[in-house]
Amino acid sequence: MILMFRTKPLSKPESVPAGQEFTFFNVLFLGISCVIGTGVYFSSVTSASLSGSAAISSLLASGILCICIALPFAELSTRIQGFTYKYIYCTSGEFFALFYAVTTLVTNVFVCAINAQLWGSTLSNILDTSNALLNAIPIIAISAFVILGRKSSALFSNVSTIINLCNAFIAGVLLWTQSGFKLSLSKLSNGIGDIGKVKLAFPIWFFTFLGFENIGVFARGIKNPGKIIPISMIGSVLMAIFLNLFMYIGVLGQTKEANVASVIDMLEWKGARSIMQLASIFGITSSFFWIAILQGETMMNLSKDGLIPNILSTQNTKGVPYIAIILHTIFSLISCYIGSISDLITTLSWVIIGMPIACLGLIFIRYADDLSNPNQVKKLKLYGAMFSFIFIILGYLDNFPDLWLINSWSIRILIAITTMGGFIMLCRNSIITASPAIVECIGFPYVPIFSSMIFFFVVGYTMNVTSFFLTLFATIIIYLTYSSKNSQLYLEYALRSI
């Protein structure tokens, strides 16, 4: 059982075959495609209907929070050169890493299936036909592109992302310039500080901005990760903030009431709607690329670490884990045809729990043990476990509005400040022993602590207890029946014991 919480030592990442490395623009556009996909067309309409102008505060707050979490992630990606699964494995333990990976793999299969359904329905509307087989086209085609080579798939993804960005920006321009647009300063500022309405729209924008963290997936093949990774992470979030704000103001300024699902449906010009529906397919298409790459990299790393069968780490001559991607394709196709799964995927929103765990992991790396400080990481991890539990509970308390006293916001804020202050004091009394990184987190340790605090709160706020414990139970089964006996850490431990 102790092995479950052992961490993997940091090691030099593997290189990819010559000619398959990612350039700056490859990584930047792949990062943008992770953040700006189809959500840019739907989030503005949904937020406006729920919160009105107050959603602007939600948008800016969630964007700033994502920039704050991008700062420690940039350092993690240059120290470990990987993604959230690796960060957790190297800092917080084997079981936590497996738990996060299982949840991510399942969630991404469902996201891929939903995108395929959306892709098929959009194309069906354009062609004025109804054929469920259209849903399978992007899943199979994009998987084939990725398997053929990282560089060729990245190029196609870049083109799709550029088309999607241009399409979204033009949609915003049309909203601002059509006859139904009229926005006064009073309408823009009215209710902007309404906390109740800000809370309603916050989860929508928050999950819209996520995806930048997946840039670390490409670190295995980046020529200059020290510069490219942080610029791409922060740049993709800034791009998302600008584009969504621009789009949202266009939606908010419409004087005509319209019961629509997307920004494109609000356009007065019918010809533009048809063209933009076609162009929006590229936005959906670009998201398939990063999902396929992420799934392949995740399964390949799990396999190499001995947590799942070794065959899933098999790579082709292009350095692509093709068997893992084929498996992802099969599960995505099955999910795509089992009906609507949009309600199911909302129960897995707590998958972001890996981000604050990884964020705290940077603290454990910086304050590593040495001869003069043999137990400081243990103390930090014990406090980190309590820290995460407290903030998840504080977020989950919203499910019990009648709970006496403890559900009061003043009490919750007092608990939050006290807990965060304790962590800060513990860090200030610890000694940094890690060597300098290529990119170091600005505002350490305050930024990682504050960011993880908010993220843990959001995990609790959006927690579905049933799906959480089902996934936890499934992970325990996988770990006890296979991973614990085949883990590389276990095998190394067994060899040393002989």
C-alpha 146/C-alpha 292 separation (Å) is: 7
C-alpha 295/C-alpha 211 separation (Å) is: 14
C-alpha 40/C-alpha 476 separation (Å) is: 37
For residue 181, which phi and psi values (nearest 5 degrees)?
-100, 125
Q: Does residue 152 register a pLDDT over 80?
A: no
C-alpha 322/C-alpha 395 separation (Å) is: 40
Q: How far is CA 122 from CA 147, 175, 290, in A?
A: 26, 21, 21
| Helix boundaries (H) for 337-408 | 342-346, 354-366, 376-396
* Span of 18-22, 292-296, 411-415 with lowest mean pLDDT: 18-22
SS3 370: strand
215 alpha-carbon distance from chain centroid: 10
C-alpha 162/C-alpha 290 separation (Å) is: 15
Contact 364, 424 (CB under 8 A): no
SS3 463: coil
Residue 363 confidence class, pLDDT cut points 50, 70, 90: very high
pLDDT in tens, 153-176: 667 777 878 888 888 899 889 889
Mean pLDDT of 470-481: 93
Q: Comparing C-alpha atoms, which of 368, 390, 393 is closest to residue 379?
A: 368
pLDDT in tens, 214-245: 777 666 667 677 778 888 888 888 998 999 99
Domain map (residue ranges) of the chain: 2-10+17-494
Which pLDDT does position 15 carry in this prediction? 56
C-alpha 132/C-alpha 130 separation (Å) is: 7
pLDDT in tens, 396-405: 887 776 666 6
DSSP 262: S
Which pLDDT does position 324 carry in this prediction? 93
Residue 39's H or E segment, with its range, is helix 39-51
Superfamily of domain 2-10+17-494: Amino acid/polyamine transporter I (1.20.1740.10)
Q: How far is CA 335 from CA 59, 116, 120, 136, 350, in A?
A: 31, 10, 14, 11, 20
Contact 78, 229 (CB under 8 A): yes
Dmax over Cα atoms in the chain, in whole Å? 79
Torsion angle in degrees (nearest 10) through CA of 458, 460, 465, 468: 60
C-alpha 207/C-alpha 496 separation (Å) is: 44
In terms of average pLDDT, the best of 6-15, 156-165, 255-264, 430-439 is: 430-439
C-alpha 130/C-alpha 122 separation (Å) is: 10
Q: How far is CA 299 from CA 96, 310, 318, 478, in A?
A: 15, 10, 17, 14
C-alpha 297/C-alpha 307 separation (Å) is: 14
* Span of 344-353, 449-458, 468-477, 486-495 with lowest mean pLDDT: 486-495
Question: Of all residues in the chain, what percent carry a pLDDT higher than 70?
Answer: 89
Q: Would you state the structure tokens that stand for residue 396, as one six-digit string? A: 């989950």
More confident position, 75 or 284: 75
Which pLDDT does position 339 carry in this prediction? 67
pLDDT in tens, 28-49: 777 787 788 777 888 888 888 8
